[in-house]
Amino acid sequence: MTKEKLLPLLQLALEKNQKAQTQLINYYWNDVFSFSLQKLGDYNVADEITVTVFAKVLSKLNLYDPAFQFKTWLLTVAQNTIIDYWRKKSRENEDATDGLEMVENQFAKSPEELMISEEEQKKILKIIETLDANYQTIIRLRFFEERSIKEISEELQISVSNAKVRIMRAKKLLAKLLQDEDFSEL
């Protein structure tokens, strides 16, 4: 995409124009996904990383400097997201093995702990129920039924790119609502 076409598109996307955002995602999706897949070697993880990258890019579009290539900036965001993923995975692996002797069995939880966990799940489900029906469906298909983007697009009879955008928006909205919800009482 030429700079003459890209800059007005970026401006519209910055103004939250959904068509412009979708056009940017569609145009650069394969570049980011291929880059992520090459670095990660896992189709599903690369898919999730790509959705995350576009969520970040669209929320931080005002930080893009037109003096540089947009694709380079986009792939830099992807690279940093992948690094964050590996760091998190590394910490999870360390945490999983540190103090292994202190690991408690699920059945060893007290009734109070199990009740608290159930209450948290109920709160999350109630928050999901407050979302628009389209977002509820996307969340159910993607996260509860663990469907691929292609399967979701086929079931909902929408394009793959539209499915990607809906997943990204649903994740952002749900994350915001969960962040606003106070779980510290439990």
What kind and span of H or E run contains 39? helix 18-40
Query: What average pLDDT score do residues 167-185 get?
Result: 73
Question: What are the pLDDT digits (tens) for 57-99?
Answer: 988 888 888 888 899 889 999 999 998 888 888 776 655 445 4
Residue 28 CA to its chain's centroid (Å): 16
**Predicted local distance difference test score (pLDDT) of residue 114:** 52
Q: What span, in angstroms and rounded, lies between the C-alpha atoms of 35 and 79?
A: 8
Q: Which two tokens stand for residue 81?
A: 């997201």
DSSP assignments along 131-174, one per residue: S-HHHHHHHIIIIIS---HHHHHHHHT--HHHHHHHHHHHHHHH
Q: What span, in angstroms and rounded, lies between the C-alpha atoms of 45 and 47?
A: 5
**Predicted local distance difference test score (pLDDT) of residue 113:** 54
Q: What span, in angstroms and rounded, lies between the C-alpha atoms of 167 and 136?
A: 10
Residue type at 9? L
Residue pair 13/3 in contact by the 8 Å Cβ criterion: no
Question: Across all residues in the chain, what is the average pLDDT?
Answer: 80
Query: What average pLDDT score do residues 128-135 get?
Result: 84
Question: What are the pLDDT digits (tens) for 36-59?
Answer: 999 888 888 899 999 999 999 988
- What length is written for the chain? 186
All structural domains of the chain, each given as residue ranges with its CATH number in brackets, are: 3-105 (1.10.1740.10), 118-180 (1.10.10.10)
DSSP state of 69: -
Give the pTM.
Answer: 0.55
Query: What average pLDDT score do residues 144-153 get?
Result: 84
Residue type at 117? S
Percent of the chain exceeding pLDDT 70 equals 82
Query: What average pLDDT score do residues 122-134 get?
Result: 82
**Predicted local distance difference test score (pLDDT) of residue 126:** 83
Q: What span, in angstroms and rounded, lies between the C-alpha atoms of 85 and 89?
A: 6
Sign of the four-CA dihedral 171, 177, 179, 185: negative
